[in-house]
Amino acid sequence: MACSSLPKLLVLCAFFVYISNVVVVAQVDESSLKLITDSLEWPSTMSLYNEFGDEDGEDPDGVIDRRSMFWHRMRYYISYGALSANRIPCPPRSGRSYYTHNCFQARGPVRPYTRGCSTITRCRR
């Protein structure tokens, strides 16, 4: 009795393995790179096109530009800590700029932001 059920069990297992492989192949064929990167939210910096040359064969519709912008898309997010109320980015009177990276952990002399007069500042400080 055990001998007659063993071949049936092996055939059944082989059938399930075959069906699962067919489903995986169908899913891989239907999905595209854009859908995969959007669902996983990977920051992609790859480029399929040469950005420095090949101006002689420009596309009048700009299709190549749209495609290359897809590969250069980056997503940046503001943290919840930065959005919390009454929070300043750097210690008061530290002399550090708002744009100093990790201003709480920065060590060494403070380099104040200085430059000559411009149209915007009109030499007022």
The pLDDT tens digits for 73-104 are: 666 677 776 677 666 667 666 667 666 677 76
Instruction: Answer whether residue 98 is part of any domain.
Output: yes
Structural domain range at position 115: 93-124
pLDDT for 18: 83
- Both tokens of residue 72? 């250069």
Longest dimension (CA), the chain: 99
Instruction: Answer whether residue 76 is part of any domain.
Output: no
pLDDT for 78: 72
Instruction: Answer whether residue 100 is part of any domain.
Output: yes
Instruction: Answer whether residue 11 is part of any domain.
Output: no
Instruction: Answer whether residue 120 is part of any domain.
Output: yes
Tell whether the model's pLDDT for residue 4 goes beyond 70.
Answer: yes
d(CA 106, CA 100): 8
- Both tokens of residue 6? 């063993």
Instruction: Answer whether residue 117 is part of any domain.
Output: yes
Compute the Cα dihedral for 52, 69, 47, 42 and give only its sign: positive
Q: What is the mean pLDDT of residues 40-59?
A: 48
Q: Which helix (H) or strand (E) holds 80?
A: helix 80-83
d(CA 60, CA 63): 8
The pTM of the full predicted model, rounded to 2 decimals, is 0.19
Instruction: Answer whether residue 112 is part of any domain.
Output: yes
Please tell me the total count of domains within the chain: 1
Task: Tell which wins on pLDDT, 97 or 8.
Answer: 8
